[in-house]
């Protein structure tokens, strides 16, 4: 890519990395500052972490991204696509911190928790800006290591430790696969750069070369682990169930956003000559993912496990956008991720509210009669669930509409039919939860751990889902405008 | 004249769609007391009714063009517009919806005592989506309302329904959703096939799809509409949903929701896919006759009053689908009249059952007997609607059924149909006998004879409020039965236009299009 002189106040080269630099410095400062904060005032750390995110966001928005800027010899790229991804990640992190504040105060009151979230964010921001497999790997590992610790945060709780161990072992395996695949690709093309690989593959003209195909498959498998694509989703339900609920909420959105954005970049930038091959792989993966996610969710009695499988199902839908492999497809995948972020954070916020001493409020039964006790929360949850099910007038409908449109335009009508058949199946378990809330009588005494922050999170996510549902044009337009470089 | 023009520019359709929604938000936010909620809901639904009446007054019966059109940007990324308009076929349903909503609100006055607020909100939101379906002229907007309707209906059956309500409401939701989603895929496919620049229904009607496309799209539409009508064999959700729904829920289900399916055939399948529609005439005739004959026999054997009326609804809708696919003026107009009439009659019969249920809390036919002795006024009212269900001359159903039969008798709908339409008409006419059997037999067992159950002796007759919501229905059934000309006037031009669309093949134009498409394509190779 062309060497561009950088226009804005930051120094050249480092300039476009300024948001990451600011985030890293502030996060480390916060790690030290946390030592001075007394135990009962750990909320301050949380607010400082939110402030850090906001400062990072402002720094990010200062950079005009219209053409793609690269730095560090092209390793790091900042374009509209990456910038939009970073905005989503920052939003997810801020909402994730909001969800954690009360929960952490009640459970384990440690300030480093928020710092780890910031480090995970940092890793993900590097991921979405990676233009090179080495940087991608570094970002991925920074994210993953921070998440392993976050999952294990309630170290006295057996479930939490077990979840973390599973996540760690399978996560390491997937990283290994990614590196293994990378070694093949490097062997054939001699480059770690995405464009270098594409060039090398084009020169070699070796789309049938078994090493290239093998390498690409391993890279796809490694990335699939991170975004819970079946059959690499096995860790998801256990980890979601065992992790502290706010961490589950965070994990269910942010790594998916980062993972898919880099997935798109890898496929479109590094393997354009293998489009036919990777499309057929992705079609198989999508069929599995949509099927497994929606069917397995029906059997779950624990809402966190249910939402884990529902995530798998939604990931399958996002994958449809990648299969289309067109601008419309990538933009649809972004639309889906954006809307999914708000829906899922909102749903988890209500799950977190429902916890009681000793019991986590995690069984479907625990929601029985919610509409009578707290009509407000039940309404929010109902709207969010209908949105997850993809019913209009809620945003989830447009997410599905966008990916279906893209996949039909790309000529895969049967895949669209398959997807909607399973989305009807998927509807069942969302409706069942609504049934518990609205049609059943209350069975257990509700004790809510309410706070203004939680309420604000619930109201804002629900409102976003309703407003996007009635008037989705801005989201669709923004997502369409940021994928123009593919 | 200027005043009239101003009136035409005023977005009346939007007002009638969003007035109930705004009312629902108002009730949600500001009204606390149950009685106040009832009154507010009544005022809002009456106001909406008056707005739709103004549509009737300003309606121009001399043109088949869409009237009261509104076009606004909505989602430019997919060329989706907020596009509204009604013609003679959709206008009666808009009015029917707003009328039945008023009746639903009134009928719930006493029998709904729990969660009144949610109930009224659900019905007002439902009204918004239903009017939206009938006035949407953009395919995505249509689908948006079509599917959004599931949310309030799911809650209405699930919260205020009978014992087996959860099963019934889930079945209703999933059946309908499965069919509708196929329609969504078909709509998106049509959008790309027709150039990818508009979702307008008129655009789809004009575009010449070749036969293969028409075939598959027709099947996808059929999945959506047949479930909604419902046609045998995908009708099984309806008896469950009807039986478990609260009275007003059944009224809206029978009165409006079933018509959405038949309206879909009229608005989508016939004008957009004329060749496939002809091709599938034998299928539609077969399924309609099964509905008319077999489902009538099933209705005969029911012991639950609501279930019986539910099956009778399916049988009557068989008449509607039969008439629709005969492609003659009388048959199609008869089908629409039948839909409107069934909206009054089935709604009234469900209200009658509701009246009995409020007193005895059972829907079993065997639990009654001799009710006429204690409720003479009610017996008279129910007699009228029972007769209307049988299609006795002088009632609205008679007009509808006789028109469908006449229209069927001389029709030549399709070269694919090998059976003479005379025989089809004869088979369909058995419905007159069968509907008399199940309706009158039920009436006899419930109302006539001596009182055998002591509880029946204490049943009070209709009170003034109950009589009030029957009164407009009685009037309408008789008016349409004796003097249907005004409604036929409204229908006439639009139906003529529809039949013209439905009987002119698109295949020649499609062949020309295909040839044009191939030429530049070939040049690039």
The yes/no answer to whether this complex scores an ipTM above 0.85 is yes
Tokens of B105: 């609100």
pTM of the entire predicted model: 0.90
Residue range A38-62: mean pLDDT, rounded: 89
Residue of chain A whose alpha carbon sits nearest to that of B174: A424
Residue of chain B whose alpha carbon sits nearest to that of A379: B118
Which positions in chain A touch B178 (Cβ < 8 Å)?
Answer: 421, 424
Residue range B44-52: mean pLDDT, rounded: 91
A428 touches B at CB < 8 Å: yes
Is the torsion defined by CA of B455, B460, B465, B466 positive or negative?
positive
A424 touches B at CB < 8 Å: yes
Give CA separation, B344 vs A320, B97, B258, in Å: 46, 11, 13
Is the torsion defined by CA of A138, A140, A144, A147 positive or negative?
positive
A41 touches B at CB < 8 Å: no
The three-state DSSP-derived secondary structure of B466-507 is HHHHHHHHHHHHHHHHHCCHHHHHHHHHHHHHHHHHHHCCCH
Using DSSP, state whether B236 is helix, strand or coil. Answer: coil
A301 touches B at CB < 8 Å: no
**B304, β-bridge pairs:** B364
Q: Which of A405, A411, A415, A482 best tests the B interface by mutation, with the highest count of B CBs <10 A?
A: A405
A391 touches B at CB < 8 Å: yes
Taking an 8 Å cut-off on Cβ atoms, the answer to whether B177 and A473 are in contact is: no
How confident is the model at residue A121, as a pLDDT? 95
Taking an 8 Å cut-off on Cβ atoms, the answer to whether B182 and A420 are in contact is: yes
Which positions in chain B touch A408 (Cβ < 8 Å)?
Answer: 185, 188-189, 192
How confident is the model at residue A27, as a pLDDT? 93
CA B357 to chain centre: 25
A405 touches B at CB < 8 Å: yes
Residue range B464-476: mean pLDDT, rounded: 87
E strands along A224-273, which residues? Answer: none
How confident is the model at residue B304, as a pLDDT? 87
Q: How many CB atoms lie within 10 A of CB B81?
A: 20
Residue B342 pLDDT more than 50? yes
Tokens of A217: 């498959």
Looking at the complex, report in whole angstroms how far the Cα of residue A405 sits from the nearest Cα belonging to chain B: 6
What's the distance, Cα to Cα, between the start and end of chain A in Å? 14
Taking an 8 Å cut-off on Cβ atoms, the answer to whether B178 and A439 are in contact is: no
Q: Which of A408, A424, A472 sits opposite B174 (nearest CB)?
A: A424
Return the domain boundaries, chain A. Answer: 274-486
How confident is the model at residue A300, as a pLDDT? 87
A467 touches B at CB < 8 Å: no
B523 pLDDT tier (thresholds 50, 70, 90) = very low
A403 pLDDT tier (thresholds 50, 70, 90) = very high
Residue of chain B whose alpha carbon sits nearest to that of A335: B77
Task: Read off the pLDDT of residues B411-433 as tens digits, 9 standing for 90 and up.
Answer: 777 788 778 888 888 888 888 88
Task: Read off the pLDDT of residues A239-293 as tens digits, 9 standing for 90 and up.
Answer: 988 888 889 999 999 999 999 999 999 998 888 888 888 899 999 999 999 999 8
Rounded to 5°, the CA angle A318-A323-A325 comes to: 105
Which positions in chain B touch A420 (Cβ < 8 Å)?
Answer: 181-182, 184-185
Taking an 8 Å cut-off on Cβ atoms, the answer to whether A438 and B73 are in contact is: no
Taking an 8 Å cut-off on Cβ atoms, the answer to whether B184 and A404 are in contact is: yes
Residue of chain B whose alpha carbon sits nearest to that of A394: B148
Q: Which of B24, B76, B77, B114 best tests the A interface by mutation, with the highest count of A CBs <10 A?
A: B77
Taking an 8 Å cut-off on Cβ atoms, the answer to whether A439 and B165 are in contact is: yes
Interface of B with A (CB under 8 A): 73-78, 118, 140, 143-145, 147-148, 150-151, 154-155, 158-159, 165-166, 169-170, 173-174, 177-178, 181-182, 184-185, 188-189, 191-192, 196
What's the distance, Cα to Cα, between the start and end of chain B in Å? 60
Residue of chain B whose alpha carbon sits nearest to that of A473: B75
Task: Read off the pLDDT of residues A356-373 as tens digits, 9 standing for 90 and up.
Answer: 655 556 777 788 888 888
Task: Read off the pLDDT of residues B363-376 as tens digits, 9 standing for 90 and up.
Answer: 888 888 888 888 88
For residue B302, which of B234, B366, B397, B387 has the smallest C-alpha distance?
B366
Q: How far apart are CA A119 and CA A98, in angstroms?
A: 17
A414 touches B at CB < 8 Å: no
Residue A207 pLDDT more than 80? no
B3 pLDDT tier (thresholds 50, 70, 90) = very low
DSSP letters, A312-354, are HHHHHHHHHHHHHTSHHHHHHHHHHHHHHHHHHHHHHHHHHHT
Taking an 8 Å cut-off on Cβ atoms, the answer to whether B78 and A476 are in contact is: yes
How confident is the model at residue B94, as a pLDDT? 92
Q: Which of A390, A393, A413, A481 best tests the B interface by mutation, with the highest count of B CBs <10 A?
A: A393
Residue B525 pLDDT more than 60? no
B522 pLDDT tier (thresholds 50, 70, 90) = very low
Looking at the complex, report in whole angstroms how far the Cα of residue B452 sits from the nearest Cα belonging to chain A: 36
Task: Read off the pLDDT of residues A295-340 as tens digits, 9 standing for 90 and up.
Answer: 988 888 888 889 999 999 999 999 999 998 888 899 999 999 999 9
Tokens of B86: 């009604």
Q: How many CB pairs under 8 A join A and B?
A: 85
Residue of chain A whose alpha carbon sits nearest to that of B142: A392
Residue of chain B whose alpha carbon sits nearest to that of A411: B189
Residue B521 pLDDT more than 60? no
Which positions in chain B touch A434 (Cβ < 8 Å)?
Answer: 154
A459 touches B at CB < 8 Å: no
Higher-pLDDT residue of B45, B10: B45
Q: How far apart are CA A348 and CA A96, in angstroms?
A: 10
How confident is the model at residue B1, as a pLDDT? 40
Task: Read off the pLDDT of residues B261-293 as tens digits, 9 standing for 90 and up.
Answer: 999 999 999 999 999 998 999 999 999 999 889
Which positions in chain B touch A427 (Cβ < 8 Å)?
Answer: 173-174, 177
């Amino acid at each position: 890519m062309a060497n561009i002189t950088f226009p804005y106040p930051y120094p050249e080269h480092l300039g476009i990395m300024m948001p990451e630099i600011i985030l890293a410095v502030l996060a480390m400062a916060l790690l030290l500052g946390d030592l001075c904060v007394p135990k009962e005032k750990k909320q301050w750390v949380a607010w400082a972490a939110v402030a850090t995110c906001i400062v990072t966001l402002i720094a990010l928005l200062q950079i005009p991204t219209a053409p793609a800027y690269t730095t560090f010899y092209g390793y790091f790229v900042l374009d509209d696509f990456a910038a939009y991804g970073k905005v989503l990640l920052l939003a997810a992190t801020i909402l994730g911190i909001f969800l954690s504040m009360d929960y952490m105060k009640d459970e384990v009151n440690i300030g480093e928790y928020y710092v780890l979230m910031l480090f995970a964010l940092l890793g993900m921001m590097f991921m979405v800006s990676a233009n090179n497999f080495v940087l991608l790997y570094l970002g991925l590992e920074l994210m993953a290591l921070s998440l392993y610790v976050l999952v294990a945060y309630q170290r006295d709780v057996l479930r939490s430790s077990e979840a973390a161990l599973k996540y760690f072992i399978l996560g390491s395996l997937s990283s290994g696969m990614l590196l293994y695949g990378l070694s093949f690709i490097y062997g054939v093309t001699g480059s770690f750069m995405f464009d270098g690989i594409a060039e090398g593959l084009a020169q070699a003209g070796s789309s049938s070369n078994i090493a290239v195909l093998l390498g690409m498959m391993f890279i796809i498998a490694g990335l699939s682990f991170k975004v819970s694509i079946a059959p690499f989703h096995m860790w998801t339900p256990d980890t979601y169930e065992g992790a502290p609920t706010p961490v589950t909420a965070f994990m269910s959105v942010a790594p998916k956003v980062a993972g898919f954005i880099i997935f798109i970049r890898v496929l479109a930038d590094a393997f354009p000559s293998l489009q036919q091959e990777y499309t057929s792989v992705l079609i198989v993966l999508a069929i599995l993912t949509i099927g497994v996610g929606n069917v397995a969710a029906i059997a779950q009695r624990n809402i966190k496990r249910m939402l884990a499988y529902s995530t798998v199902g939604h990931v399958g839908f996002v994958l449809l956008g990648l299969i289309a492999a067109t601008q419309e497809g990538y933009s649809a995948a972004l639309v889906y991720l954006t809307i999914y972020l708000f829906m899922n954070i909102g749903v988890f916020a209500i799950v977190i509210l429902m916890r009681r001493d000793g019991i986590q409020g995690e069984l479907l039964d625990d929601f029985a009669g919610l509409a009578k006790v707290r009509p407000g929360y039940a309404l929010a949850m109902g709207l969010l669930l209908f949105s997850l099910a993809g019913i209009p007038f809620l945003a989830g409908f447009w997410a599905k509409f966008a990916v279906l449109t893209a996949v039909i335009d790309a000529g895969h009508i049967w895949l669209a039919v398959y997807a909607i058949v399973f989305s009807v199946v998927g509807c069942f378990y969302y409706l069942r939860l609504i049934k518990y809330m609205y049609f059943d009588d209350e069975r257990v005494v509700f004790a809510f751990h309410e706070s203004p922050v939680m309420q604000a999170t619930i109201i804002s996510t629900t409102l976003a889902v309703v407003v996007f549902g009635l008037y989705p044009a801005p989201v669709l337009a923004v997502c369409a405008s940021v994928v123009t470089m593919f | 004249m200027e005043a009239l023009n101003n009136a035409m520019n005023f977005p009346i359709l939007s007002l009638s769609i969003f007035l109930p929604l705004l009312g629902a938000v108002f009730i949600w936010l500001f009204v606390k007391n149950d009685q106040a909620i009832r009154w507010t809901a009544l005022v809002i639904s009456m106001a909406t009714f008056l707005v739709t009446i103004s549509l009737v007054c300003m309606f121009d019966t001399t043109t088949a063009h869409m009237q009261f059109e509104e076009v606004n940007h909505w989602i430019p990324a997919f060329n989706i517009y907020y596009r509204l308009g009604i013609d003679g076929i959709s206008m009666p349903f808009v009015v029917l919806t707003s009328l039945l909503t008023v009746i639903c609100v009134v009928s719930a006055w006493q029998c709904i005592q729990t969660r009144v607020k949610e109930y009224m909100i659900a019905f007002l939101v439902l009204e918004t989506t239903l009017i939206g379906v009938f006035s949407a002229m953009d395919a995505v907007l249509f689908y948006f309302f079509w599917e959004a309707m599931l949310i309030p209906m799911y809650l209405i059956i699930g919260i205020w329904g009978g014992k087996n309500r959860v099963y019934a409401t889930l079945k209703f939701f999933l059946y309908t959703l499965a069919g509708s989603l196929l329609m969504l895929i078909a709509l998106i496919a049509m959008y790309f096939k027709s150039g990818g620049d508009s979702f307008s229904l008129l655009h789809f009607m004009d575009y010449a799809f070749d036969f293969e496309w028409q075939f598959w799209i027709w099947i996808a539409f059929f999945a959506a509409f047949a479930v909604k009508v419902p046609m045998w064999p995908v009708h099984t959700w309806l008896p469950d949903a009807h039986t478990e729904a609260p009275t007003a829920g059944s009224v809206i289900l029978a009165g409006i929701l079933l018509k959405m399916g038949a309206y879909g055939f009229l608005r989508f399948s016939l004008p957009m896919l004329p060749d496939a529609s002809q091709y599938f005439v034998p299928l539609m005739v077969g399924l309609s006759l099964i509905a008319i004959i077999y489902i009538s026999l099933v209705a005969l054997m029911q012991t639950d009053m609501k279930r019986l009326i539910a099956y009778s609804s399916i049988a009557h809708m068989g008449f509607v689908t039969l008439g629709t696919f005969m492609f003659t003026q009388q048959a199609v107009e008869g089908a629409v009249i039948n839909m409107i009439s069934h909206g009054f009659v089935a709604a009234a019969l469900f209200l009658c059952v509701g009246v009995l249920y409020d007193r005895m809390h059972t829907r079993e036919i065997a639990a009654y007997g001799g009710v006429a002795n204690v409720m003479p006024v009610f017996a008279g009212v129910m007699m009228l609607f029972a007769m209307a269900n049988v299609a006795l001359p002088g009632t609205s159903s008679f007009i509808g059924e006789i028109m469908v039969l006449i229209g069927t008798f001389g029709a030549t709908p399709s070269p694919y149909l090998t059976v003479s339409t005379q025989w089809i008409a004869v088979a369909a006419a058995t419905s007159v006998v069968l509907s008399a059997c199940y309706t009158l037999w039920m009436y006899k067992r419930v109302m006539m004879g001596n009182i055998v159950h002591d509880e029946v002796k204490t049943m009070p007759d209709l009170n003034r409020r109950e009589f009030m919501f029957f009164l407009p229905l009685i009037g309408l059934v008789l008016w349409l039965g004796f003097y249907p000309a005004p409604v036929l006037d409204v229908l006439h031009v639009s139906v003529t236009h529809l039949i013209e669309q439905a009987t002119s093949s698109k295949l020649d134009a499609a062949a020309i299009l295909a040839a044009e498409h191939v030429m530049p394509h070939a040049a690039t190779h």
